[in-house]
Amino acid sequence: MVEIADILRGGFDDYQAFVNPLVAQRARLAGEPVRIERVADGTLVDRTGHVFEDFHGTQAFGHRNPHVAAAVQAFLASDAASWFPSRVNPFAGRFARRLCERTGHYDNVFFGLSGSDAVEAALKLARAATKKPGIVGLSGAYHGCTFGSVSLMAEGYLREPFVPLLADARSIPFGDADALRRELARGDVGAVVVEPIQGEGGVRELPAPFVEALCEETAKHGALLVADEVQTGLGRTGRGFLATQTWPRRPDVVLLAKHLGGGLVPISAMLTRRDTFMLAYGQQFASGESHNVTLGCNAISAVAGLAALDLLTDALITRVRDVGTKLKHDLTAALASSPLVREVRGAGLMLGVALAPSDHPWLTFEHFGFPELAHQSVIAPVLCHRIYRRGFFCFSCGHDWTVFRLQPRFEVPEEKLTAFVAIVREELDKLESLS
């Protein structure tokens, strides 16, 4: 029998001992709340009773959402199979139907278990469908950690250990429409993969002229336009179910993950039109199963996904838009006079605060005893460290440590956001006072 209480006591140390000691060490050093004991109303509670609001974004419906949990429990209380050897899984089928209907455009779904799975599926789809090897991404990108997806990764510690990577995968400068045209003119590009708003790249939104060029030029050159909406999709930007639904042309491929399983179970999806999918996998029976994720179609994930779709109403997405707009406005106003703040950016409840590095040697990784990180700005990680202590779990962008990133749950109480804005200002003032 799995003893939950026992795991919550000893499992954290087991993680350090048997999973990844550096992750555990990093969390301790940064002062992150680690020993989380339970959830309460969508928040996290540690073993000393401190409550944390999680701004990571994977828990858009709050931690352990009761509707999602009830759906999974109802499934487990039934005698239905979770996995079907034929792969013809009715739960996956129903979830795919609901997902397609919700997008109002796509009519074919491939399921994986992670965002990287979905990206990998898209890269293979593009090559199989277009017969062109070239994959183009943007500088500052983060698409996942499989070899295919990491081939599009921005330069740095997330990419370099794994070279050489996928041949014919290359990057162009972020938002550079001329570079895009030049690249597509080579004639070998099967896919252009973009994030509508780069997450790890610093919460950077694609400029509108670039999006126009992207939609036009990919169609013109027969390259698939792949929108990695792992971060921006499912209402996160408040612009609709998908952030790309107002683009001049709907992308050929859209990728979803994160809270697709309600935050409770892993699942990702690659959405396409059926004709695109058939170009790759519909030519002969054997090829129909040539790309596969064994448990990608498991019923528990699909049931959780169906429950997540129940929650993701238009009214909720409108709330994301309105609350996000107010948060952005309030942050901008509250932080305007801080010399440590450059800009508040993003959309809906996917926001980033770009910070200016302090020029005081006290606020450097070198001073903190990490000379190997001296080239990185310490300001956002230190701000996160300060804010953990005030009850909020924030983080800095993986590729740009000057950007402090906020992705609250969709129903985060407004008074918590008001308190958060005041806390950020207070903590920035303290950091400024150090120099």
Partner 1 sequence: MIELAGKRCLITGGSRGLGRAIACRLARGGARVGFTYSTDDADADDARAAVVAAGAEPLVFKGSVADAAHARAAVDAVASAWGGLDALVCCAAITQVLPISLLEEADWDLVMDVNVKGTYLFARAALRHMIRQKGGVIVTIGNFASERVVEAPIHYAASKSALRGLTEALAREVGRHGVRVNLLAPGLLEQGLSQALPQHRVDEFRSQSALGRLGRLDEVAELAAFLVSDDASFLSGAKLVADGGL
Please report, as ranges, the residues that interact with partner 1 according to CB under 8 A.
5, 8-9, 16, 22, 24-25, 28-29, 31, 47-48, 362-363, 367-370, 382, 385-386, 434
Say whether the peptide bond before residue 164 is cis (omega within 30 degrees of 0).
Answer: yes
Tokens describing residue 403: 């950007």
Between 140 and 381, CB nearer to partner 1: 381
In the complex, minimum distance from the CB of residue 169 to partner 1, in angstroms, rounded to a whole number: 33
Between 17 and 74, CB nearer to partner 1: 17
DSSP string, 52-67: EEE-BSTTTT-TT-HH
**Integer CA distances (angstroms), 338 to 80, 342, 390, in order:** 57, 9, 20
DSSP string, 338-381: -TTEEEEEEETTEEEEEEPPP-SGGGSTTTTT-GGGTTS--HHH
| Cβ neighbour number for residue 85 with a 10 Å cutoff | 7
Between 12 and 147, CB nearer to partner 1: 12
| Cα gap 31→25, rounded to integer Å | 10
| Cα gap 252→274, rounded to integer Å | 10
In terms of Cβ atoms closer than 10 Å to its own Cβ (0-12, 13-18, 19+), residue 268 is buried
Tokens describing residue 247: 């683009």
In the complex, minimum distance from the CB of residue 96 to partner 1, in angstroms, rounded to a whole number: 43
Between 1 and 5, CB nearer to partner 1: 5
Residue 204's φ and ψ, nearest 5 degrees, are -110, 120
Q: Which residue in this structure is represented by tokens 């991404």?
A: 137
In the complex, minimum distance from the CB of residue 351 to partner 1, in angstroms, rounded to a whole number: 25
Q: Which residue in this structure is represented by tokens 């699909």?
A: 302
Between 28 and 131, CB nearer to partner 1: 28
Between 48 and 284, CB nearer to partner 1: 48
Between 26 and 329, CB nearer to partner 1: 26
In terms of Cβ atoms closer than 10 Å to its own Cβ (0-12, 13-18, 19+), residue 164 is exposed
In the complex, minimum distance from the CB of residue 28 to partner 1, in angstroms, rounded to a whole number: 5
In the complex, minimum distance from the CB of residue 301 to partner 1, in angstroms, rounded to a whole number: 32
In the complex, minimum distance from the CB of residue 37 to partner 1, in angstroms, rounded to a whole number: 9
In the complex, minimum distance from the CB of residue 196 to partner 1, in angstroms, rounded to a whole number: 36
